[in-house]
Chain A
């Protein structure tokens, strides 16, 4: 599903102009991005949670050449799906 398809669905349900739905989706996405970067964990029941994790710098290797590479410290956003979501996914095993 693309963002535009999500927006269309919202427009249909709430009878909004597409522009309004677009603004809504952008607003929600922006706010969630800021929350994660401000170290605020996002928890949505039945869906999952987003949070950030800090990784230390380490010396890795280029797997192709074997050369040493310094990997700098980094922060990554992670998503952990809720149990409900995972069981929904795996209920439809028949396909």
Chain B
């Protein structure tokens, strides 16, 4: 699935025109990216949250030369899925377990 599919779906489901749907989907992700770039976590209930974590600097090795190099402090993004989304993915499986 790409942005194009999302725009098509908006267009069909909500009756918005296709061009506008494309712009809405673009903006939707742009706003999320902007928020993350500012260091602000994004919380989307029923889906999950995107959290920023700071990774400590550590010593690594260049795998091909064996040289030690410092991997600098950096930020990473962690997706924490909501319980609802997890349940949706595991539905059929957990039914069998019980």
Task: Establish whether residues A29 and B75, one from each chain, have CB atoms under 8 Å apart when the complex forms.
Answer: no
Closest to A77 in B: B81
Closest to B52 in A: A89
How many A-B pairs have beta carbons closer than 8 Å: the answer is: 133
Q: For residue A90, which residues in chain B have a CB less than 8 angstroms away from its CB?
A: 74-75
B contact residues, range = 35 or more
Q: For residue A85, which residues in chain B have a CB less than 8 angstroms away from its CB?
A: 33, 36-37, 77
Q: How many residues of A contact B (CB 8 A)?
A: 50
Task: Establish whether residues B89 and A79, one from each chain, have CB atoms under 8 Å apart when the complex forms.
Answer: no
The chain B residues found within 8 Å of chain A, CB to CB, are: 1-3, 5-6, 9-10, 13-14, 16, 20, 23-25, 27-29, 31-33, 35-48, 50, 52, 73-79, 81, 84-86, 88-90, 93-94, 97
The chain A residues found within 8 Å of chain B, CB to CB, are: 1-3, 6, 9-10, 13-14, 23-25, 27-33, 35-37, 40-48, 50, 52, 72-79, 81, 85-86, 88-93, 95
Pairs across A and B, CB under 8 Å, 30 listed: A1-B40, A1-B41, A3-B43, A3-B44, A6-B28, A9-B31, A10-B24, A14-B24, A24-B10, A24-B28, A27-B10, A27-B14, A32-B47, A33-B84, A33-B85, A37-B88, A42-B1, A44-B2, A47-B29, A47-B33, A48-B77, A52-B89, A75-B90, A77-B48, A77-B81, A77-B86, A79-B79, A81-B76, A89-B37, A90-B75
